[in-house]
A and B are shown apart, each in its own frame.
Chain A
Amino acid sequence: MYARRLKSYDFGYVLFLLTIAAFTGCGSNSAKSPEANSSTGEGDGHYRIAVIPMATTDIFWTSVQAGAQQASEEAGNVKIYWNGPLTMNDREGQVNIVQNYVTQQVDGLVLAPIDRTALVPYVADAKRAGIPTVVIDSDLDSDENIVSFVATDNYHGGELGARKLAELLGGSGNVILLRYTVGQESAAQREQGFLDTMQKEFPDINILSDDQYSGPTEEDSYNKSMDLLIQFGDRVDGFFVICNRTAAGLLQALEQEGLTEKITLVGFDASPHLIQAIREGKIRAMVMQDPFTIGYLGVKTMLAHLRGEPVKRRVNTGEYVVTRENVDTPEIQRILAPMNK
């Protein structure tokens, strides 16, 4: 009986569940609803600000969170809601989170959009609901509905990376740009800055490959790097990668192939693990953003706007080149500090 009954309902069940899964994204990325707090609002000088990172599982965003927290503690009357998708390619997940906070009627959104186009209509929705948005870290296609854009100059970061890699290679050699994932604006800016600079300023540097993407996770990057090293390992002199997970996967591959001495790796964005590799000389240089300041100024800018003060449309948070020589300087250590907690 049991078996027969199940067989006949099987297909219906499956369809039903697939439909639910499709709508909820399998429930893996729905926003935690912030606890309702009816007495807070603009009137009594309390603000609820939702800070939405690209991913919660990454050290870079942990630093952004620390900066946002610092800004709220300094202001005293601000509650920060921190929630984002787990991985940096989960567009629907991030859209759901934005929508949930709009429904919750927070006072402001500080958003790092995963996708330059996909999030545009939802930011417009937020504005219609009376909720202003400050975009951090990565730009949107349309800036008409945003208060301000607080970020690294990513294109300039790519330029810095190109110049450093060229300098380390003595101005000539074969290099590979291992890209990140499709559609993310900050990544595309870094890649473009790198390629433009190499073409304009370093005619003797040959780009072996610039059309492969590492994918969003360290494991994806590791697999892709192994494949690339088998193809190009004996010819390539340098790598430029634009994200810390790509760098971590590539570093693992270089170590296993015994190529850390021969191949010059210049990365982008730090983590304690990668800083260790800088000290050991396995990564020769790294362009570094200041994630703490991105979070800090993101919330500060939002607060200024909520209080009716004028804000700049574009706030630059700075970019730096880290090497073994300067890693212990106070300036660099200040940026790294939130990661070591």
Chain B
Amino acid sequence: MGPFLALLCVIAFFAVADRLQADGGRFFSFHNAQNVVVQSATVAVASLGMTVIIISGGIDLSAGTGLGLCAVVLAWFLHKDYPPWMAASAGILTGCLTGLVNGLLVTLLRVVPFIVTLGTMTIFLGLSKLISESITIRPKPDQVPDWMEQLLNPRIANSWMLFPPGVWILLLLAVMVILILQWTVLGRHIKAIGDNEQAARLSGIRISTTRIIVYTMAGFTVGVAGLFLFVRLSSANPTSGTGKELLVIASVIIGGASLNGGRGSIVGTLTGALIMQVISNGCTALRLKDPIQEIIIGTIIVTAVTVDQLRQRGKG
């Protein structure tokens, strides 16, 4: 409930402030809502997987460059005239592989995820640069199919859909992750590991297998995020994912997850991603400069974590 209230407050604040300025009134419109939702979709879809990782007590710093790599792979396949379905599959498969590699390294080397993924973060950036020869890959217009162009186009052809197909894919994935977390044995194991790894091990949960599944699942969402990143510009740059991991982690944390593991909410995470995008969009509406946006978003992250800790203490 917390993050959702925060989102409403943020929207209300900008709606009022925008209405009060001389030529305002455009912030609180459906047109702008479509815009904000589409802008946050890339980070939001990757943050689904990140939520699961964080619930299991892990972290993935490679998500940003990982999704950049997926976009580059996808663009490379299109550019080389492979059929679009193959390019999209290659991109998403690359995402699964990045997750699998992270999961294997974390379990086999017994190194903490923070360090493993700090390393793979740089490895994935290097791979992106190799594949793209360090420049932007831009497939020709006839190599990019219509469905990709429409996937996250805020001006959708069928108005009854309200939002472009990519947003519905995001929501579908979110529902699937919620079902896995709530209703499956795997979901309970993930929470148990994040809560208390020792206890989980003693109660017979196969920790390594579960971890590898968690990271691979997250890798899949990173692959979808790579697809989203590509379709918005119909091009891919090896650096375009850099730094996105911090937005992804921030969404999860603003959404009420605990970095100590054991707790996190998919709905909260999606709300967290929206909050950051609404602030960025609202600041432009109010003609505030970028530094102000950055300060506000930083303040909200610290506030969210503080509130989280207070809540924890209240329980304890």
A: residues with CB less than 8 A from B are 2-4, 6, 10, 13-14, 17, 21, 26-28, 56-59, 62, 86-87, 209, 211-213, 215, 217-219, 222-224, 226-228, 230-231, 248-249, 252, 256-258, 272-273
Contact A14 B284 (CB under 8 A): no
Contact A226 B154 (CB under 8 A): yes
Q: For B134, what are the chain A residues with a Cβ–Cβ distance below 8 Å? A: 56-57, 86
Contact A226 B39 (CB under 8 A): yes
With A218-B240, A223-B39, A228-B284 known, 19 other A-B pairs at CB within 8 A are A2-B110, A3-B198, A4-B198, A6-B112, A17-B114, A26-B118, A27-B122, A28-B125, A57-B134, A211-B287, A211-B289, A215-B290, A219-B232, A226-B39, A227-B285, A230-B285, A252-B232, A272-B138, A273-B138
| Given A213-B290, A230-B31, A256-B154, CB of A59 within 8 Å of CB of B136 | yes
Identity of the chain B residue whose Cβ is nearest the Cβ of A227 in the assembled complex = B284
Identity of the chain A residue whose Cβ is nearest the Cβ of B31 in the assembled complex = A230
B: residues with CB less than 8 A from A are 26-27, 29, 31-32, 35, 39, 110, 112, 114-115, 118, 121-122, 125, 129, 132, 134-136, 138, 153-155, 197-198, 201, 229, 232-235, 237-240, 242, 280-281, 284-285, 287, 289-290
Contact A3 B239 (CB under 8 A): no
| Given A28-B125, A56-B135, A219-B233, CB of A212 within 8 Å of CB of B284 | yes
Identity of the chain B residue whose Cβ is nearest the Cβ of A86 in the assembled complex = B239
Q: For A273, what are the chain B residues with a Cβ–Cβ distance below 8 Å? A: 138, 235
Contact A26 B121 (CB under 8 A): yes
**What's the dominant secondary structure at chain A's contact region?**
helix
Q: Which of A26, A57, A62, A257 contacts B238 (CB 8 A)?
A: A57
Q: For B125, what are the chain A residues with a Cβ–Cβ distance below 8 Å? A: 28
Contact B240 A217 (CB under 8 A): yes
A-B pairs with lowest CB-CB distance, top 4: A227-B284, A3-B197, A86-B239, A56-B134
Q: For A258, what are the chain B residues with a Cβ–Cβ distance below 8 Å? A: 155
- Would you give the shortest CB distance from B30 to chain A, in whole angstroms? 11
- Would you give the shortest CB distance from A222 to chain B, in whole angstroms? 6
Q: For B110, what are the chain A residues with a Cβ–Cβ distance below 8 Å? A: 2
Q: For B198, what are the chain A residues with a Cβ–Cβ distance below 8 Å? A: 3-4
Identity of the chain B residue whose Cβ is nearest the Cβ of A4 in the assembled complex = B198
- Would you give the shortest CB distance from A23 to chain B, in whole angstroms? 14
- Would you give the shortest CB distance from B131 to chain A, in whole angstroms? 13
Contact A17 B284 (CB under 8 A): no
Q: For A224, what are the chain B residues with a Cβ–Cβ distance below 8 Å? A: 284
Q: For B284, what are the chain A residues with a Cβ–Cβ distance below 8 Å? A: 212, 224, 227-228, 231
Contact A256 B197 (CB under 8 A): no
| Given A17-B115, A227-B35, A256-B155, CB of A87 within 8 Å of CB of B239 | yes
23 A-B contacts (beta carbon < 8 Å)? A2-B110, A3-B197, A6-B112, A10-B114, A17-B115, A26-B121, A57-B135, A62-B135, A86-B134, A209-B287, A211-B289, A215-B290, A218-B136, A222-B232, A226-B35, A226-B39, A227-B35, A227-B280, A230-B32, A231-B26, A231-B284, A249-B233, A256-B155
Q: For B201, what are the chain A residues with a Cβ–Cβ distance below 8 Å? A: 3
Q: Which of A2, A217, A252 contacts B237 (CB 8 A)?
A: A217
Contact A13 B135 (CB under 8 A): no
Q: In the complex, A223→B244 CA distance in Å?
A: 14
Q: In the complex, A28→B129 CA distance in Å?
A: 11
